[in-house]
Structure 1
């Protein structure tokens, strides 16, 4: 039993992280504070500019309850859905949302892909895209719920814009705009 529920009727959510069950809940210690990585409020723009609420036409912006629903659906066996942490491996190692796959988007400070061939491989190897005669078939592509560090971070917006430019359907792309900053500020489990 928890004193600090996620919302009414939802004390916890069970997710799978690297094949093992993890319970996601709110922090139970009322004296807890946000992680130091997400405490700074002054971030130089560019590159750390506040991102819009609506990233691109057809790309749904998610909140925490929608991300938790994705994680729950994945745990229940939905195979065509992924929660993707687009941050670099060093940030992922500091802590991520339980159940998120770290599939980073390598970009330069202008937001341009620095490993476009690698991203194209990811489409096929991780996201269920088929390549036929040099064209991509997205009919069986996974729906992706993608996040990075927060509303000031451009990694996921650039990742999603690149996927869209390659033909990934907007209807299969979801953006958790709040990212790790909002997740941590709400005291949700980090692994």
Structure 2
């Protein structure tokens, strides 16, 4: 049975120019584990990776070279060592965690340029990238909580 109604087409698609602006705007505030990993591996400068989880979670497993600045601790004092010339890339547990989103908003309010790493440490590990910390490699991310 066919029906003239379409859930996909109920709201008209954006024009190509509107769509381009939308997706570029998303890319200006988001990145992913693959891009962060490749740039770190290539020694690219101009960004700093910040783990926004608790000190205990950071100690168990974090991205090599990431700084630990828990979301609730962010202030002018705790971010004083960060350069406003660098882009700050925030991450937390995974897609179900908004700690990195909250941290990115706080950092932006403090005058930093920020991007959030989609998927957090969960997707970093799923991609097979190395981590540092006390948790054994291969241990599931959420077993650490």
TM-score, normalised to structure 2, is 0.64
Q: RMSD in angstroms over aligned alpha carbons?
A: 2.4
Q: Aligned with 1:174: secondary structure?
A: strand
Which has more helix, going by share of residues? Answer: 2
Matches within 5 A, 1:1-191: 59-73=28-42, 75=43, 78=45, 80-106=46-72, 115=73, 119-124=75-80, 126-128=81-83, 138=84, 141-168=85-112, 172-191=113-132
TM-score, normalised to structure 1, is 0.50
How many residue pairs match? The answer is 109
Structure 1 residue ranges (4+ consecutive) displaced by more than 3 angstroms after TM superposition: 56-59
Counterpart for residue 10 of structure 2: none
Which stretches in structure 2 are left out of the alignment for 5+ residues? 1-22, 133-145
CA distance in 1, matches of 2:124, 2:52: 15
Deviation at 1:99, TM superposition (A): 1.9
Change in CA separation of 1:59 and 1:175 when aligned onto 2, cut-off 3 Å: same
CA distance in 2, matches of 1:96, 1:123: 19
Q: Aligned with 2:70: secondary structure?
A: coil
